A = this chain, B = another copy of it.
Amino acid sequence: MVNEAHSASSRSEGSSSGSESSKDSSRCSTPVLDAERHERLREKMRRRYDSGDKWFSLEFFPPRTANGAVNLISRFDRMGMGGPLFIDVTWHPAGDPGSDKETSSMIIANTAVNYCGLETVLHMTCCNQTKEEITGHLQKAKRLGLKNIMALRGDPIGEEWEEEVEGFNYAVDLVKHIRCEFDDYFDICVAGYPKGHPEAESYEADLRHLKEKVSAGADFIITQLFFRSETFLAFMKDCQAIGITCPIVPGIFPIQGYHSLRQLVKLSKLEVPQEIKEVIEPIKDNDAAIRNYGVELAASMCRELLDSGMVSGLHFYTLNREVATTEILKRLGIWKEDPRRPLPWAVSAHPKRRVEDVRPIFWASRPKSYIHRTQEWDDFPNGRWGNSSSPAFGELKDYYLFYLKSKSPREELLKMWGEELTSEESVFEVFTCYISREPNREGHKVTCLPWNDDPLAAETNLLKEQLDKVNRRGILTINSQPNINGRPSTDPIVGWGPSGGYVFQKAYLEFFTSSENITALLKVLKMKKYELRVNYHIVNVRGENITNAPDLQPNAVTWGIFPGREIIQPTVVDPVSFMYWKDEAFALWIEQWAKLYEEESPSRMIIQYIHDNYYLVNLVDNEFPLENCLWQVVEDTFELLNCPTEQ
């Protein structure tokens, strides 16, 4: 919003305000762990206003480059941890905002809602566009799972702006159009100007225009930035005085640099108060000092707003930066320090995925890929892949899309995974370095693997010692979890779900290994002590499959028991989806690793050999109350390999 000038002018006309909520009436097949998943943004907001719980939201603009997009999405993930009520993505008419480009407003918002699981508001401007164009954008937004629109006029083209008779001249026209064409589907936000819009006839006239937008069906208001809390509080009282009753969220602009402030002032036609100018001018070349001052200033204004009792939510113009906003939120105590996970995996915010309550464990480190490959599903099977529904998984080719790619450039990957591989053992070393976090021979830390974009999860870290040991010997682990026998749901590492519950896990281990190792492993798994205790699936790239699972039923490996609820079992090992995962897991050897090297090069051929000959194995220890036996299984396998004649 900061990057655009908005029109608050609007034609006066009788409004058709939002009709009854068009709530999904289909049968809910899953227990509802998180009431918020079923609420519309305006309901969530209303609930916070009613309860007095403080909240915040974050505004971003679309990046200019694909690399910038990858970085912004990581930022969504990180800033999402702090618990914003929503984020919003601005609309850049010059950047083809409704297109499928990686950097378009539409696609960035799509990524935020679907892959990052964030409640997302998409900005949309209407001037200089036809009804059909706008309807097309809205339809696309709806199709992608976006449920909230910030309706804006946008910048007129050219210096002197003239009304078009049939066109969209004001934000209120867009609000009306949305309500007319999409009924109550979208929650609509509009812009408010605490000092009045610069183009408005007067402050009072601007207030009346705002009321028209609300009457036309807007659900809440976000304000343009301001520099003093009194400005906002006076505006809010004036709004109330003329009968605006919807939530009004103050827009907070943390000053982060001298130039961005100047740019902003130019665009918004706001005047920076003298006392701020006086502080800033002397330090204008000291970015850190300006940012510190900006944080201090914004935090104290926010505190005044919250203390007024009239404000429960704050909207931040982040300028796509992380540090200043996070710092302010932490100082205010509204950054969630202990993010409560509703489920062990990040829930997508697409309305179709509301009922999703179970996923295969295989994609634990590649959740975006799972969401992508299942985006066409209408149903999220309650662990039923195995029985009869077997929904198809999306094609593998899809995951070369930029947001599923490795975040690191080729040169960095080569440094981590080896400029030149000399043997299978040099591949083992890469895995070992990833686990141990020790630098490799060339002194580079291995911070990701083709199957793991991020360093080891805190939980997996519990298993670090054993993982290190087995990877050295060619058990190339890509996924694992320890067993858990009833830990509180609030446990900082393994907890999830509402408080007062208990969470459980069966131990899980997934790895690639050579066919020689498999021969020994199978002998061990058939030993009496493991036979009934450990379930295994072993498969190679050609789909040759060895298992002791009695049928195609899923095995629940993570579950939780909560007060007043049904049992939740969000993670399963299921034989059917494992075959889809197998394709992806093997393809990653080639697509992400082998292709770093020249064709026919020894390095490439080593990876190709592993891809062609190794097996992918998953093991579940069903005895969750006892000590995890999977390490002993691997130990016994090594022992058998060492003295092959003995058995």
* Docked complex: A484-510 residues within 8 A CB-CB of B: 485-486, 500, 502, 504
A388 to B26, CA, bound (A): 8
* Docked complex: A373-399 residues within 8 A CB-CB of B: 382-384, 387-389
- Of the listed stretches A109-117, A155-163, A278-286, A562-570, chain B binds A562-570
Q: Does A193 contact B (CB under 8 A)?
A: no
Residue A563 contacts which of B502, B532, B559 (CB distance < 8 angstroms)? B532
Task: Return chain B residues, CB-CB under 8 Å to A89.
Answer: none
Task: Return chain B residues, CB-CB under 8 Å to A384.
Answer: 27-29
A35 to B565, CA, bound (A): 28
* Docked complex: A556-603 residues within 8 A CB-CB of B: 556, 559, 561-567, 569, 572
Q: Does A555 contact B (CB under 8 A)?
A: yes
Q: Does A550 contact B (CB under 8 A)?
A: yes
Q: Does A535 contact B (CB under 8 A)?
A: yes
A637 to B534, CA, bound (A): 49
A624 touches B554 (CB 8 A): no
A567 touches B564 (CB 8 A): no
Q: Does A549 contact B (CB under 8 A)?
A: yes
Q: Does A553 contact B (CB under 8 A)?
A: yes
Task: Return chain B residues, CB-CB under 8 Å to A28.
Answer: 384, 387-388
Residue A566 contacts which of B31, B35, B554, B564 (CB distance < 8 angstroms)? B554
Other than the given A500-B532, A554-B566, 11 more pairs (CB < 8 A) read: A28-B387, A382-B382, A502-B625, A533-B563, A535-B564, A555-B563, A556-B566, A559-B561, A566-B569, A566-B572, A567-B569
Query: How close is A269's CB to chain B, nearest CB, in angstroms?
Result: 49
Nearest neighbor of A555 in chain B, beta-carbon distance: B564
A395 to B323, CA, bound (A): 65
> How many copies of this chain does one complex carry?
2
Query: How close is A229's CB to chain B, nearest CB, in angstroms?
Result: 37
Task: Return chain B residues, CB-CB under 8 Å to A27.
Answer: 384, 387-389
Q: Does A622 contact B (CB under 8 A)?
A: yes
A217 to B371, CA, bound (A): 51
Q: Does A5 contact B (CB under 8 A)?
A: no
Q: Does A32 contact B (CB under 8 A)?
A: yes
Q: Known A384-B29, A388-B27, A625-B486; judge A565-B556 contact (CB<8 A).
A: yes
A-B contact pairs, 29 of them (CB 8 A): A27-B388, A27-B389, A28-B384, A28-B387, A28-B388, A29-B382, A31-B553, A32-B551, A32-B553, A382-B382, A383-B566, A485-B486, A500-B533, A504-B561, A535-B563, A549-B564, A554-B566, A555-B563, A555-B564, A555-B565, A555-B566, A556-B561, A556-B565, A556-B566, A559-B561, A561-B624, A563-B622, A564-B620, A564-B622
A551 to B567, CA, bound (A): 16
A35 to B389, CA, bound (A): 19
The interface centre, meaning the residue of A31, A532, A567, A572 with most chain B CB atoms within 10 A of its CB, is A567
Task: Return chain B residues, CB-CB under 8 Å to A564.
Answer: 535, 549-550, 553, 555, 620, 622
- Which 10 residue pairs spanning A and B have beta carbons closest together? A563-B622, A567-B569, A535-B564, A555-B564, A28-B387, A556-B566, A556-B567, A567-B567, A383-B566, A27-B388
* Docked complex: A253-267 residues within 8 A CB-CB of B: none
A565 to B564, CA, bound (A): 23
Query: How close is A506's CB to chain B, nearest CB, in angstroms?
Result: 8
B566 touches A500 (CB 8 A): no
A555 to B550, CA, bound (A): 30
Query: How close is A78's CB to chain B, nearest CB, in angstroms?
Result: 32
Task: Return chain B residues, CB-CB under 8 Å to A556.
Answer: 561, 565-567
* Docked complex: A513-552 residues within 8 A CB-CB of B: 532-533, 535, 549-551
A25 to B569, CA, bound (A): 26
Task: Return chain B residues, CB-CB under 8 Å to A29.
Answer: 382, 384
Task: Return chain B residues, CB-CB under 8 Å to A572.
Answer: 566
* Docked complex: A352-410 residues within 8 A CB-CB of B: 382-384, 387-389
A13 to B510, CA, bound (A): 61
A388 to B24, CA, bound (A): 11
A388 to B25, CA, bound (A): 9
A563 to B28, CA, bound (A): 28
Query: How close is A35's CB to chain B, nearest CB, in angstroms?
Result: 8
Query: How close is A391's CB to chain B, nearest CB, in angstroms?
Result: 12
Query: How close is A189's CB to chain B, nearest CB, in angstroms?
Result: 29
Nearest neighbor of A569 in chain B, beta-carbon distance: B567
Nearest neighbor of A548 in chain B, beta-carbon distance: B564
A35 to B535, CA, bound (A): 18
A539 to B141, CA, bound (A): 47
Query: How close is A528's CB to chain B, nearest CB, in angstroms?
Result: 13
Task: Return chain B residues, CB-CB under 8 Å to A25.
Answer: 388
A384 to B404, CA, bound (A): 37
Interface code A594-636, partner B: CB below 8 Å = 1, 0 otherwise? 0000000000000000000000000010101100000000000
Nearest neighbor of A551 in chain B, beta-carbon distance: B32
B566 touches A553 (CB 8 A): yes
A451 to B448, CA, bound (A): 63
Query: How close is A576's CB to chain B, nearest CB, in angstroms?
Result: 13
Task: Return chain B residues, CB-CB under 8 Å to A562.
Answer: 622
A379 to B178, CA, bound (A): 40
Query: How close is A514's CB to chain B, nearest CB, in angstroms?
Result: 26
A407 to B286, CA, bound (A): 92
Nearest neighbor of A550 in chain B, beta-carbon distance: B564
Task: Return chain B residues, CB-CB under 8 Å to A549.
Answer: 564
Query: How close is A555's CB to chain B, nearest CB, in angstroms?
Result: 5
Nearest neighbor of A26 in chain B, beta-carbon distance: B388
Task: Return chain B residues, CB-CB under 8 Å to A382.
Answer: 29, 382
Task: Return chain B residues, CB-CB under 8 Å to A32.
Answer: 551, 553
Task: Return chain B residues, CB-CB under 8 Å to A502.
Answer: 624-625
A384 to B382, CA, bound (A): 14
A54 to B564, CA, bound (A): 44
